[in-house]
Structure 1
């Protein structure tokens, strides 16, 4: 008979061998994973890994944009009389980049690349050149849309990425023409999203990247590893003028909105919520029961505006729009502006400690636009002033406060050589004339038609109220 103690020893040995065998199998299975992270490339295929196929696919859709502006320098009257010196024209050239977003020749670039130019020229990656037509220029978003005519030829394009899904750490490539040296590709990662404190445009909501971006890259492409357009490179932070690894791109969701507007009517209308807001500080967050500062506090609601109609109130705390967190008013405005007029924006609101969702149908801001500017030509001190009635739309177009207390007439510009230049400046708000409030241009014209040679004027200039009497 076998001794039970001997059997126990054999079983223990078998278990020990089995455990050792399992451990060895696990080690063999996991060894390649650890070796892959630590070893040098083991094959020609691993050595040749490259972004080259991606660049070959994307770079033909990135172009150079050349602009020219003719400035005239006139000789003095004495030089003309004594020497017959004629007026001379000087051509100022500038360079930027652009991205083909439609195969029929539609190109997106930065507004600051083409601003003030008289002519536009686009050079493709294969060095062919075309004169370009300006379809739309929008300074508020710093985007512009050009169009070239290539006949029936279909050009290579970059498809739009969904920039809402971009995450910090994503690999990206920047393609453009820095310093005019020729098409250049740099790579990096997304360093941050939703940057709103850059100050480049009024609708700041930038993607930040450490891919090298330099002067001349403006208007160029920032693409992901699928070859999709994530954003348009637009600005850098630098004390030297060169890249220090902090570049900013306009997200593709805004780019797409501007392109759609350019090819479908030529006007980019920014949707409007009809509210003003301020960022939530740490102290405010604590009083609202929040664990961290997030969202904006509604400080003003425009009467009969979209927010008012949806039921938003002063004091509401908006934490997100369309499930995307907001941290300041610029972010809120951007997320509203990427929607088309008439669409619903879903706002996450904290009111009285309770969370709720309020849907706001965004609309264009109401009121007069720059197309409604009136030139005053009567025999008064206002002769030569171009004026327009204050409105939310005018405020949006000119960066004014749509909630400015009171009403008035906005001085859009003043004509050189006219009497109005002695008394008014662009940006002045005429509140009253001869004691009568001026709410509309008709109100102002009616007062002027009955005035003699003395005008008692109340205006707002640079946020200060100025009153005085002018006699002629």
Structure 2
């Protein structure tokens, strides 16, 4: 006969084991759910009846879906394949051209004759010898039924051939209508034989931080890829040029998204995806898009003229910080402080001086150098307006006639230094100051005309001229700026049957390049 005390100890032990099981379940082991008890067990236990607690329903927030939007817009988004010829002997070596490491690399891993081929020197026709073709992928979108396509300039810059793949799989050759390196925009055209679906450019001024946006493009060759996010900020300056005014977005964009559209929820294009900030090269949620209002202005000019006409003032400016504002007796740290005025420029003729702080151009307030750059650029050549500036604590108003920015031929795909209506070399020129602001490292005191672009398959490309070469003399005549270089080239082409000798600086070394321009009846790309 069992001992009652043993029975009580056994019951207590069983209760402890059951409690331990429940506690173990709470700690991550398999719990015994309450509903697993049998009806008999439930009836045999003494329970305290409590009123049922009201169920708390989680609020249902309906997030917008993007399927209908994407279905509407994706037929007008295209993939762009740009083919470019590069110099194998100039790009394969990771060391500075002509250095001891470069010569050793080429001797053992490249050219068989070592120093005999250190890369194409000026005048050797490097674009035609030892080159190889590479393909770059980007995105774009159709903006009218006739087949005009917007993309980034850097997608097609230097391309010898451009192909567009439509959403339905068709591949069409594309022609470059015009390019604008200053805003990194380009306009292409395809002939599809029938009207194409197209997208409307919206009003980017209505985009607010926090608004939903959708990007469609071709990242890493994966065409038709859709990503979504929000507008993170407006008016970003990423130091890519004087007209920076980017939308910052967190919708993932990667390599290959360049030139693709950024959509608002109404299906209008409010930006062109252009750049990302990333230490790894992939998306980390910081992307930048060119606002559609700027795109609209540039595309209209590219469509009409093949290039962008911009106003020119001739003054270098810098921001005004709080310390500078106190030193110049300014009410607030705003405006564009004039650091330098070019001789015989519209600014010089208007009487603008270094130390003046420009606060308005016409009726447009100027709060920063970027404001002034954009306001001047949007002013037509020959327009008369008024510069308002602070000088020695007083406000002055200076009448000014805006000129045209002279090196805007760099914006066109087919423009180049040439005679009026005559043969063209196929180069676009910029000033030394412009090139240095764009990041080109030139020795202090360098004078001449910097080659900002070389048209593929042009006379300049065949002669081996490259972007970044500095033209210091034409024939035996020294040139100090693009205007002087263009004039001297025109004169030389007229008198020498289309041949011209250019003295250039490349990688710190001087050399002469002979260029034979084609006849005036030759074809011109773009």
Bin of the TM-score, shorter chain as denominator length: 0.5 to 0.7
What residue is the counterpart of 1:449 in the other structure? Answer: none
1:168-183 equivalence runs, <5 A: 168-183=209-224
| Whole-Å separation in 2 of the counterparts to 1:356 and 1:145 | 42
| Whole-Å separation in 2 of the counterparts to 1:141 and 1:54 | 28
Q: 1:221 to 1:342 in 2, by over 3 A?
A: farther
On the 8 A contact 1:179/1:215 being kept in 2, the answer is: yes
SS of the residue 2:235 aligns to: strand
What residue is the counterpart of 1:65 in the other structure? Answer: 80
**1:53 has 2:63 as partner:** no
Structure 1 gaps of 5+ residues are 1-37, 79-86, 375-385, 447-458, 467-472
Alignment length, in residue pairs?
Answer: 380
Task: Say what the alpha-carbon RMSD is for the aligned residues.
Answer: 4.9
Residue 266 of structure 1 and its aligned partner are, at CA, apart by 1.1
Residue 115 of structure 1 and its aligned partner are, at CA, apart by 1.8
Residue 218 of structure 1 and its aligned partner are, at CA, apart by 0.3
Structure 2 gaps of 5+ residues are 1-56, 90-109, 114-128, 410-414, 420-424, 438-442, 492-502, 511-526
**1:230 has 2:266 as partner:** no
| Whole-Å separation in 1 of the counterparts to 2:289 and 2:70 | 19
| Whole-Å separation in 2 of the counterparts to 1:286 and 1:333 | 24
Q: 1:232 to 1:352 in 2, by over 3 A?
A: same
**1:119 has 2:161 as partner:** yes
| Whole-Å separation in 1 of the counterparts to 2:273 and 2:431 | 28
1:290-301 equivalence runs, <5 A: 290=330, 292-301=332-341
On the 8 A contact 1:109/1:145 being kept in 2, the answer is: yes
On the 8 A contact 2:364/2:375 being kept in 1, the answer is: no
**1:217 has 2:252 as partner:** no
What residue is the counterpart of 1:307 in the other structure? Answer: 347
What residue is the counterpart of 1:133 in the other structure? Answer: 175
What residue is the counterpart of 1:426 in the other structure? Answer: 469
Q: 1:438 to 1:241 in 2, by over 3 A?
A: closer
Structure 1-normalised TM-score?
0.65
Residue 343 of structure 1 and its aligned partner are, at CA, apart by 5.1
Structure 2-normalised TM-score?
0.59
On the 8 A contact 2:219/2:254 being kept in 1, the answer is: yes
Residue 297 of structure 1 and its aligned partner are, at CA, apart by 0.4
On the 8 A contact 2:471/2:479 being kept in 1, the answer is: no
SS of the residue 2:431 aligns to: helix
On the 8 A contact 2:337/2:356 being kept in 1, the answer is: yes
The C-alpha deviation readout for 1:371-420, integer Å capped at 9, x for no partner, is: 4479xxxxxxxxxxx9x9xxxx842895368xx9999654769999x9xx
| Whole-Å separation in 2 of the counterparts to 1:55 and 1:357 | 52
Residue 66 of structure 1 and its aligned partner are, at CA, apart by 1.3
What residue is the counterpart of 2:59 in the other structure? Answer: 40
Residue 355 of structure 1 and its aligned partner are, at CA, apart by 5.2
What residue is the counterpart of 1:147 in the other structure? Answer: 189
